[in-house]
Structure 1
Amino acid sequence: MSNIRANRVGEQMKKELASMFTRDLKDPRIEFITVTGVDVTGDLQQAKVFITVLGDDEKKNDALQALTKAKGYIRSEIGKRIQLRKTPEIMFEFDESIDYGNRIESLLREIHHEDDK
């Protein structure tokens, strides 16, 4: 039962974070962040927020610094918006699955291109 609740809280957090990143946070380093997923532990104590950032490594690091700086505000707002008694501790991580998928796709293209020769 707690897994269902954790998934529901994760989906609500994902929606609210996306809204906050586009409307509420004024830091320009947060402009090109997309929330790809939120994993909440069964006890609702921690939430791992997976993000992607449009840009190079420097932009990614800047975005992560901005999110880390705003973590207290973000957590407070999430608690208010979702109306949780205790808001999960938030940890931001880069979602590498898109880069990984792109790399696999390029390798497959290379293989097919070599087969055509």
Structure 2
Amino acid sequence: MAKNANRDGKAPTQRMLRVGEVIRRTLSEVLQRGDVHDDELARMSITVGEVRMTSDLRIATAFVLPLGGQGKEEALEALRRNKHEIRHLVVKGGTMKFAPELRFEIDGTFDQIDATRALLAEDHVRQDLDD
């Protein structure tokens, strides 16, 4: 499945992308300001890399990563534990009438970038690229 493809394998619509970006920005602001009433979550700095919407806009999956990549599981657990309050804050801070269900996953983009860099740095790969 393509990176941005939805569950049925189709590319996301403009509406899905637009709503996902609104939620991403609003969620980032909520987490940055520390609006969630959870001391553990308030101590974390979490980046929201992307939000993917289902085609019916009922579910928003936020791909997140704690700053520095440390404490991924703790951050995921804290976000999931507070998902109802976060959902309320996201809708309150945005322009949406309907509140999609929020799901949280670890953003693997940075791990993929690191793996690609490591692969490109290998001698036999670098030799092929230089030819």
- Please give the TM-score of this superposition, normalised by the length of structure 2: 0.74
In the alignment, the residues of structure 1 paired with residue 59 and residue 69 of structure 2 have an alpha-carbon distance, to the nearest angstrom, of 28
Percent of matched pairs sharing the same residue: 35
Which of the two has greater helix per residue?
Answer: 1
Higher mean C-alpha deviation, range 105-114 or range 82-91: 105-114
1:75 paired residue number: 87
| Deviation readout 1:27-46 (Å, 9 max, x if unpaired) | 34452210000011221100
1:42 paired residue among 55, 76, 94? 55
Q: State the Cα distance separating 1:100 from its structure 2 match.
A: 1.2
Extract structure 1 runs of 4+ deviating beyond 6 A: none
The 3 A distance-change label for structure 1 pair 6 and 113 is closer
Preserved CA contact (<8 Å) 1:27 1:66: no
Residues paired across the two proteins, number: 113
Q: Which runs of no fewer than 5 residues in structure 2 stay unpaired?
A: 1-11
1:86 paired residue among 75, 94, 98? 98
**1:95 matches 2:95:** no
Q: CA RMSD in A?
A: 2.4
Q: Which runs of no fewer than 5 residues in structure 1 stay unpaired?
A: none
Q: State the Cα distance separating 1:113 from its structure 2 match.
A: 8.7
